[in-house]
Amino acid sequence: MIRVLIVEDDPMVADLAAVYLEGIEGFCLEGRASSGEAALELLRAGEIDLVLLDMFMPGMTGMELLRIIKTNFFNTDVIMITAAQNSDDILNALRMGVADYIVKPFTVERFRAALEQLREKRQLLTSPEVPITQEILDKRIFIKKSGQPPADTPKGIDATTLQNIIQVLQGCSGPFSLKDIEPLTGISRISLKKYFDYLAATDRLGSEKDYGGHGRPVTRYHWKG
């Protein structure tokens, strides 16, 4: 059983997460906290396998608590459930090792998908009798993240448009710029930049500055998958 701590200062959101959690096999609610400080007390008091963590709370922020969890509670996974939609917040959370990032308001389907994916990963990696091949890793963990948009996308990111852009980028054999991709998608560079920022924040697109020409440097991207 995966023991869950909900860290959320909005009681309605916390109640909703608790109700959704009850309907997913293999999880049990161990506690709720409305602040980072209260969450730390519960983490120190008993074993918590998963923290459902908000970003914005009074006192300690969710990002500050995430750093503490990743430094001191090595066996505890974290799924962010937050209204924060800017690429810096998403990228920082991913770099610190969150298992998933869910943007409010969220659906029960997206919530369930995140927890079931985590449960499957834990089951796979805690079964010592099973030799874990690359094929198993790809089918059950990594390949699910490649080539398909998540079940829920942030506000302003259309899932169908995102998938069309991904298909174009997957066909690029080398570095490319926004200017290169614009005619292939029929989407303006301003709109493309928003989707590129999202793909970079979810670690599917890499970038570097090209200072080779005159004037402003050009950002060149490469598909990571």
Is residue 211 classed exposed, middle or buried when 0-12, 13-18 and 19+ CB atoms within 10 A define those classes?
exposed
Neighbours of 22 (CB within 10 A): 10
Q: 220, 176 in Cβ contact below 8 A?
A: yes
**Rg, Å, the chain Cα set:** 19
Contacts for 92 with CB less than 8 Å, ≥ 6 apart: 63
Residues in the chain: 225
CATH number at residue 191: 1.10.10.10
Distance of CA 171 to the CA centre of its chain: 24
Structural domain span for residue 119: 2-145
Is there a domain that residue 8 lies in? yes
Of 18 and 123, the one with more pLDDT: 18
Same domain, 98 and 46: yes
Average of per-residue pLDDT across 21-49: 95
Are 16 and 66 a contacting pair, CB within 8 Å? no
Domain boundary among 120, 145, 170: 145
Judge if 118 and 178 occupy the same domain.
Answer: no
**Taking the model in full, what pTM does it have?**
0.63
The percent of residues above 90 in pLDDT, for the chain, comes to 42
169 and 210 fall within a common domain: yes
User: Using 50, 70 and 90 to split pLDDT, how confident is the model at 81?
Assistant: very high
**Total structural domains within the chain:** 2
Q: Are residues 166 and 135 in the same domain?
A: no
Q: Average of pLDDT values for 18-28?
A: 93
Same domain, 84 and 170: no
Q: Which of 145, 174, 209 is the last residue of a domain?
A: 145
pLDDT beyond 80 at 131? no
Provide the 10 A C-beta neighbour count for residue 90: 24
Mean pLDDT of 145-162: 68
d(C-alpha 1, C-alpha 24), whole Å:
11
Question: Does 103 share its domain with 66?
Answer: yes
Q: Does one domain contain both 39 and 78? A: yes
pLDDT in tens, 155-182: 788 888 888 888 888 878 788 999 999 9
CA gap 207, 179 in Å, rounded: 14
Given a cut of 60, whether residue 149 has pLDDT beyond it is no
Of 145, 171, 200, which residue is a domain's last? 145
Are 46 and 123 members of one domain? Answer: yes
Is 153 contained in some domain? no
CA 111 – CA 225 distance, rounded (Å): 23
- Looking at the fold, whether 10 and 116 belong to one and the same domain comes out as yes
Token representation of residue 189: 């560079």
Nearest residue to 54 via CA among 40, 68, 34, 73:
34
Same domain for 117 and 27: yes
Say if residues 2 and 19 touch (Cβ distance below 8 Å). Answer: no
